[in-house]
Amino acid sequence: MTRFQRPTFSTWRAVILHRPHPAVDALSRQLESLHIRVRVVWPRLDEQDAQADVVFFDADMGHDEQFPWPSGFAPMPLIALVGSETPGRVEWALAQGSNAHLLKPIGSTGAYSALLIAAHAYERAIADANVIRTLEARLKQRPIVVRAVIHLMQNGYAGEVEAFKRLRAVAMDWGMTIEEAAEAICRSDKRTRNSA
């Protein structure tokens, strides 16, 4: 696991999606003390807001239509501003993809740790999603690996273990993944059969 790189918040832009409220004023002061540029909007985010580095949103009065992206697919860390801990409101905030939260009323502290936690959670979620995409792509290619192993077995490699060892050696020699080498072997076999 790679070590979390603490963001340079002085270059960040934050959007606070919340109706006018003393909590917004307190949060804005905390963010500005971290040299974060702050924009307060209500009742919805626009395309410009989708370029922010972090979005704080009202979990109490919020609804799906406030965001220009589908629930759970925010292009930046989200921090829920929670006043009501009713299960439905908390579940809604989680469904948005909230990476951290701040409890209202907001005082003079809390924003920094919420920012760090949200940035870390968002970075981990992106990394996990990339790993899942890679594994899904490799899983989709497994049938071609099986075909390549069968082809190698039919062409002199006795048994699955020996054929797979040969496939792995070919992949290493060619500087490819096993899936890429299997595809190349199957393409070569297909060309050979078509020319025969």
Domains of the chain: 9-133 (3.40.50.2300), 141-195 (1.10.10)
Report CA Rg, the chain.
25
Q: What angle do CA 82, 88, 89 make, to 5 degrees?
A: 20
Question: How much is the pLDDT for 158?
Answer: 81
pTM confidence score: 0.77
How far is Cα 143 from Cα 157, in angstroms, rounded to an integer? 19
Question: How much is the pLDDT for 195?
Answer: 63
The pLDDT tens digits of the residues spanning 96-142 come to 999 999 999 999 999 999 999 999 999 999 999 999 998 998 888 88
* Residue 3 structure tokens: 């070590």
